[in-house]
Amino acid sequence: MSIKKSYAVFGLGKYGVSVAKELVRNGAEVLAVDKCEAAVNAASQYIPLCKCADVTDEEVIKQLGIANIDVVIISMAESFEASVLATTLCKESGVKHIIVKCSNEMHSKILLNIGADEIVFPESESGIRTAKNLLSAGFVDIIELSKDASMIEMEVKEDWVGKPLIKLDLRKKYGINVVAMRQNGYITTYIDPEMPITADMQFIVIGNPNKLGKIK
């Protein structure tokens, strides 16, 4: 189910390490960077490719080959200036998707204005959840309910369009239960099983996370 993309994580605190570890655990290519040598040494036991470098330096960004990275996660909320500089350099390098951990709403507005594509707040977002969202194709959001159950908001698959839910038999095929539907900004828990599915729908489902990879 993993999307074959390359990732870089800037900042190896608790959040950054948890993102990088989960990405690596799922077979993703990850470059982890921190300017603190001790943090790099500690993280290297979990993350094969760790570098000690200052990602606020334009030359360092070039040397690390960040222009070739698909997704950069900037986890340096303790230093807003560093987050701004790193975000700007990544944007100028052509990184397709930049996620920045942020400490408050004002900072988030500034970071979005200078090029961040997504903001996460450490008090409400776990690194593991961020990684799973990145690795799950077609999944809009994932919330872990337990080790055996997750609630997922997902795009409908192309081959589902035009078919009624009852004929797809998603519970039998994938072990998921559709509990709600989002369409045109509205969420409803009533879904007519005979109604044809349209491309603008998103399903909110509950299922076993270990079986989600079966959804193609």
Q: Compute the distance between CA of residue 12 and CA of residue 35 in angstroms, rounded to an integer.
A: 9
pTM of the model: 0.61
Segments of the chain assigned to CATH 3.40.50.720: 6-134
Confidence class for position 52, pLDDT limits 50, 70, 90: very high
Q: Compute the distance between CA of residue 193 and CA of residue 209 in angstroms, rounded to an integer.
A: 24
- Give percent of the chain above pLDDT 70: 80
Q: Note the helical H segments in the chain.
A: 14-25, 37-43, 58-63, 80-93, 105-113, 127-135, 165-168, 170-174
CB 154 within 8 A of CB 139: yes
Q: Compute the distance between CA of residue 19 and CA of residue 182 in angstroms, rounded to an integer.
A: 28
Does the domain at 138-214 match CATH 1.10.3720.10? Answer given as: no
Look over the chain and give the mean of its residue pLDDT values, rounded to a whole number.
82
- Looking at per-residue pLDDT, the higher value among 82 and 121 belongs to 82
Classify the phi-psi angles of 85: left when phi > 0, otherwise alpha if psi is within -120 to 50, otherwise beta.
Answer: alpha
Segments of the chain assigned to CATH 3.30.70.1450: 138-214
pLDDT score for 53: 96
Fold of 6-134: Rossmann fold (3.40.50)
Most confident of 56-65, 98-107, 153-162, 168-177: 56-65
Q: Compute the distance between CA of residue 100 and CA of residue 83 in angstroms, rounded to an integer.
A: 7
pLDDT score for 3: 45
CB 136 within 8 A of CB 153: no
- Looking at per-residue pLDDT, the higher value among 10 and 152 belongs to 10
- Spatial CA neighbour of 7 closest among 90, 110, 63, 125: 90
Confidence class for position 140, pLDDT limits 50, 70, 90: very low
Per-residue model confidence as pLDDT tens digits over 87-96: 999 999 999 9
Per-residue model confidence as pLDDT tens digits over 173-212: 877 778 778 887 777 877 788 888 898 888 877 776 666 5
- Spatial CA neighbour of 149 closest among 207, 215, 203: 207
CB 153 within 8 A of CB 204: yes
Residue 25 has pLDDT above 80, yes or no: yes
pLDDT score for 78: 82
Judged by average pLDDT, the poorest of 42-46, 82-86, 194-198 is 194-198
